[in-house]
Amino acid sequence: MPFVEIVELATTARRKLTAHRRLRVWEQAAGVCALCERKIDGVRERWIVEHLRALELGGTDELANMAPAHEVCARAKTRDDHRRAAQAKRQKIRHIGAGGSKRPLPFGKTSPWKRTLSGRIVPRK
């Protein structure tokens, strides 16, 4: 099993994005899409301010974590971020012991006893 680093995970609050902050995000990236790295035509193409590290994955709501992105490019990233955030939450639930089955199987992983392949019942170490 690969080693997975457990990071404290919390969703960052999203501040209101004013037109001036949108402009600063655009200018610091020179109008280049953060995801496909092509220039965004602000007149003909729809674009959004993307959080490079998603807020729900612990990213900050600061300009340093923001960049413009085509709306179509951002859609795929958002879907992937949601998937990863859901996975991280499941990991955290397991890690802090908030989960667990309400009806554990007899001799299952949570039982202090286990049944061997030969059928013997032995204490789980």
Contacts with Zn ion, residue ranges (CB under 5 A) = 33, 35-36, 70, 73
Query: Do the beta carbons of residue 57 and residue 78 sit within 8 Å?
Result: no
Least Cβ distance, residue 41 to Zn ion (angstroms): 11
Select 51 or 70, whichever has its Cβ closest to Zn ion. 70
Least Cβ distance, residue 22 to Zn ion (angstroms): 16
Least Cβ distance, residue 111 to Zn ion (angstroms): 51
Give the tokens for residue 45: 């193409």
**Residue 13 CB-half CA count within 13 A:** 2
Query: Do the beta carbons of residue 73 and residue 49 sit within 8 Å?
Result: no
Select 29 or 73, whichever has its Cβ closest to Zn ion. 73
Select 29 or 35, whichever has its Cβ closest to Zn ion. 35
Select 35 or 66, whichever has its Cβ closest to Zn ion. 35
Least Cβ distance, residue 33 to Zn ion (angstroms): 3
**Rounded Cα distance, 29 and 118, in Å:** 64
Side chain identity at residue 21, one-letter code: R
**Rounded Cα distance, 18 and 60, in Å:** 17
